[in-house]
Amino acid sequence: MSKYIIEFIGTFFLVLTIAFTGNPVAIGGMLTALIYMGYGVSGAQYNPATTIAVWIQKKINAKEAGLFILSQVLGAAGASIAYHLIYGNTRVFFLSPDIKINILKPLFVEGLFTFVMMMVILYTAVAKRSAGNQYYGLAIGIIVTGIGYAGSYISGGAYNPAVGVVPVLMETIMGVCQCHPINHAWIYLVGPVSGSAAAALLFRYVLKEEV
Spell out the domains of the chain, with CATH numbers in brackets: 2-206 (1.20.1080.10)
Residue 178, pLDDT score: 65
CB-CB contact of 163 with 95 (8 Å): yes
pTM, whole model, 2 decimals?
Answer: 0.94
> What single string gives the DSSP state of each residue in 130-178?
GTT-S-HHHHHHHHHHHHHHHHHHHH-S--SHHHHTHHHHHHHHHT--S
> What single string gives the DSSP state of each residue in 53-114?
HHHHTTSS-HHHHHHHHHHHHHHHHHHHHHHHHHHTTS--------TTS-THHHHHHHHHHH
Averaged pLDDT for residues 184-208: 95
Of 161, 7, 1, 165, residue with least CA distance to 75: 7
Residue 65, pLDDT score: 97
Q: Is 60 left (phi over 0), alpha (psi -120 to 50) or beta?
A: beta
| pLDDT averaged over every residue in the chain | 94
Which residues, including other chains, have CB under 8 Å from residue 188's CB and lie 6 or more apart?
A: 95, 110, 156, 158, 160, 161, 163, 164, 165, 168
Containing 188, the helix (H) or strand (E) segment is: helix 187-201
Res. 74: pLDDT tops 90: yes
pLDDT tens string 158-177: 999 999 999 988 888 887 77
Residue 99 burial class via C-beta count within 10 angstroms: exposed 0-12, middle 13-18, buried 19 and up = exposed
Res. 90: pLDDT tops 90: no
